[in-house]
Structure 1
Amino acid sequence: MDNLNTFQRAARKVKEVTLPTPLVESPAFGRSTGNRVFLKPENMQRTGAYKVRGAYYKISTLTEEERERGLITASAGNHAQGVARAAKQYGVRAVVVMPETTPPIKISRTEALGAEVVLHGSVFDEAFAHAQQLAAEQGLTMVHPFDDVDVACGQGSVAMEIFEELPEVDIILVPIGGGGLASGVSTAAKLMNPEVKVIGVEPEGAACMKASLEAGEVVALPGASTIADGTAVLEPGHKVFPYIQKNLDGIITVPDEELIPAFLDMVENHKMVVENSGLLTVAALSHLPAEGKNVVAILSGGNMDVITMSNVVQLGLIARGRIFTVSIMLPDRPGGLVQVSQIVAEHSGNVIRLNHNQFATVNRNAAVELRVTIEAFDAQHKERIIEALREAGLDVREVEASL
């Protein structure tokens, strides 16, 4: 994987199964970060993620006998679809072991591509151990999701395409789970231009690569807790780790809370659905110094189920103050509700839920509780509405919002 010709060969091969994903410049992120920001939308691939690149290239390097035995892998979802798509292309059997926590959309799409899905364990590492057992029992050929040099070469085709479009790229942000994408992208990028900076981005609750780099060797986390399920890996790949050590310029860790507003930004500014692992690089943009650099954020996938999407949207609106709830104590007499509604309307707020609780106090004649959920433009608008209610002499306190 130290040879540029290898990456060029892989880039040509993966074009047989990938869609073009041209860079998308983001003026909105550019204004907010002080850099020129481009997005590499791998969420727009047929399988909804970049993983088909590494899977297809790896399977193309296997012998006919290795393919005919049948393929097996473990995956939280995106690599599963990549292997299923590649196996279908070659007309061979594919078995995919997925964690029981995998979003339903990833399971159904993997099965729709013809793969046999086995659910096992709560995290990737448990699923992979079961896949190894099945491979030994059934003689299947393992296609590792990240700890394989050929797989990493296929993923490195992402970097080749970035340089084709933007030779003057200064910084590439790449999500990290086990390290397959990061090792391929960073190695290919350094071969193209040793001066380019490649920075990995991990979820705070599953930062196994950061821990390994700090230790100087691969280490395993005791557990992982993150909504970025595609990067919830306990231990990075041993085979790709040396390439990470050599070519990655740093790691940014992102808390789950930052992924929620990042989802809203992508939907509102670019009309794109990006899954939580793919949003890591978007959230990381605000962690870079504002230096007017050409920055590319790789959006690794977009396979998010509708229920998760709905939850993230609601949490994002609440986090940004666009939906909030206040508790107002009012005397139980006519006109109180009208007064509140009028103040909210005068300040361009929109009431979306009311809850009138007559049993909040022992003496309801003295006061009853009115809980009002309100839609605002932003956090500043929310504060203006709350202040107006208080200026009217109302007993107002903000409480946990819900939709």
Structure 2
Amino acid sequence: MAEAATAEDSAITVADIRAAQDILRDNVLRTPMIAAPRLSDRCGAEIFIKYENLQATGSFKDRGALVKMMSLSDEQRTRGVITMSAGNHAQAVAFHARRLGIPATIIMPEGTPFVKVGNTEALGARVILAGETLNDAREETERIASDEGLTLVHPYDDPLIISGQGTVGLEILEDQPDLDCVVIPIGGGGLISGTAIALKDARPDIKIIGAEVESFPSMYCALRGEEPKFGGPTLAEGIAVKVPGAHTKPIVEKLVSDIMLVSEEAIEQAICAYASDQKTMAEGAGAAGLAAVMSQPKRFEGRKVGLVLCGGNIDPRTLASIMVRGLERDGKILSVRITIPDQPGVLAEITACFGRNKANILEVTHRRMFLNVPVKGAILDICAETKDRAHAEKLMAQIQELGYKVERLGDQTGWEFGNY
């Protein structure tokens, strides 16, 4: 079992975190931690959510960035700060640097989406694109910092940053002091390290569980002495970190009970659950904690669980796609492919079947040129709104009864339909 934090465990103490709390008071939002009854019903646990997506820049990163910059000398403020980031940390540094009158330089990988570059520039920062990855950007960051005498505001591996993020833990204790466990996303480890120090000092019995995406298991593997394997795009780019922090790793090793790896599908479903059940936006990294609980509900059943929704900066198009996929997963949107003879009246017969079943057709595509279709045949791709899975099953069965072959498109949801 993880033990309480002490000064011997790291250079960061609860006193440091309380000092950071004094700095942040009236400067960043004291976010609420609210019960989530619908998610509780879904997961079989009593769920409480810490809404860090409500911060000015949409994530917890406001906390550490401001604490670090408030520590700078007048000379350091005049020279300016620099960091490397492709997202939330970039915006937090830019936002608070502008508030404090500090010049800010942000190094972003060359492939950073235009919207993120634009958002950061709109906050007054100088943005430089360098390299293909964040590691490449770090090399350029170190070079420019040395050449121009700029102060690095590291995304996670800095005692002041960790202390700032740890104020999340103090607020959790104030709002819900009797939680059984808290599930926190892990990237470089700044948030979970600071939060764990705060929580374990007051509640040595509380379980701190990390949630890391499967494709970037850096902290998970580092604590096990394993060589991590990275790969592929991820919805959780905010925690897609290849190297855990030198300051954060020993804290996590000492205070965190376990790290759970979550899949892309689990993160997608958690984003959808936050939007549909809680009416709030979660980016992939922000949804990782809920994804862990939803992936292994038996592990948390009957327990009082805190989740840190650490960020809500999700691309609107990505969110729209996830929501539509969620409706299809739940059987509220049905996409089917129907093989038909190419003759008059068939399309009318099939659409009438949808109408009789009160299924609202959203889109119809009539294809004749597929080589796997008979010369005198055709394929109908139909997308329609349905009430639920049972309604969709009934509709598909009736189409089959009309004598047509029907298959559900993109079916990876585990539905146990018959062979239509």
TM range (shorter): over 0.9
Letter in 1 for 2:145: A
Q: Distance in 2 between matches of 1:208 and 1:244?
A: 12
Higher mean displacement: 99-108 or 118-127: 99-108
Distance 1:101 1:273, change over 3 A: farther
Alignment of 1:160 with 2:170, yes or no, is: yes
Q: What is the TM-score with the length of structure 1 in the denominator? A: 0.93
Q: 2:212 aligns with which of 202, 212, 218?
A: 202
CA contact (8 A) 1:203 1:255 kept: yes
Alignment of 1:233 with 2:272, yes or no, is: no
Q: 1:242 aligns with which of 250, 266, 278?
A: 250
1:268 partner SS = helix
- CA distances 1:250-272 after superposition (whole Å, capped 9, x unpaired): 11111111222222211222221
Q: 2:364 aligns with which of 354, 364, 373?
A: 354
Letter in 1 for 2:214: E
CA contact (8 A) 1:147 1:238 kept: yes
- CA distances 1:251-307 after superposition (whole Å, capped 9, x unpaired): 111111122222221122222111111011121122242432221111111112222
Higher mean displacement: 113-122 or 21-30: 113-122
1:43-58 equivalences in 2 (<5 Å) = 43-58=53-68
Give RMSD over aligned pairs.
2.0
CA shift at 1:15, angstroms? Answer: 2.2
Letter in 2 for 1:205: S
CA shift at 1:230, angstroms? Answer: 0.8
Alignment of 1:277 with 2:314, yes or no, is: no
Q: Distance in 1 between matches of 2:175 and 2:219?
A: 29
Distance 1:212 1:264, change over 3 A: same
Alignment of 1:128 with 2:138, yes or no, is: yes
Q: Which consecutive residues of structure 2, in runs of 5 or more, have no partner in the other structure?
A: 1-10, 412-420
CA contact (8 A) 1:324 1:400 kept: no
The count of corresponding residues between Structure 1 and Structure 2 is 398
Q: Distance in 2 between matches of 1:187 and 1:339?
A: 66
CA contact (8 A) 2:215 2:229 kept: no
Q: What is the TM-score with the length of structure 2 in the denominator? A: 0.89
Q: Distance in 1 between matches of 2:27 and 2:393?
A: 51
CA shift at 1:222, angstroms? Answer: 5.3
Q: Distance in 2 between matches of 1:187 and 1:61?
A: 21
CA shift at 1:66, angstroms? Answer: 2.4
1:156 partner SS = helix
Q: 1:63 aligns with which of 64, 70, 73?
A: 73
Letter in 2 for 1:237: G
Distance 1:363 1:251, change over 3 A: closer
Q: Distance in 2 between matches of 1:240 and 1:58?
A: 16
Q: Distance in 2 between matches of 1:120 and 1:214?
A: 32
Distance 1:312 1:157, change over 3 A: same
Q: Distance in 2 between matches of 1:308 and 1:268?
A: 15
1:23-34 equivalences in 2 (<5 Å) = 23-34=33-44
Aligned residues: percent identity? 35
Letter in 2 for 1:206: F
CA contact (8 A) 1:274 1:302 kept: yes
Q: 1:303 aligns with which of 301, 310, 313?
A: 313
Which residue is equivalent to 2:416?
none
1:46-195 equivalences in 2 (<5 Å) = 46-195=56-205
Q: Distance in 2 between matches of 1:239 and 1:363?
A: 65
Q: Which consecutive residues of structure 1, in runs of 5 or more, have no partner in the other structure?
A: none
Q: 2:347 aligns with which of 322, 337, 341?
A: 337
Q: Distance in 1 between matches of 2:387 and 2:136?
A: 44
Q: Distance in 2 between matches of 1:295 and 1:213?
A: 24
Letter in 1 for 2:147: E
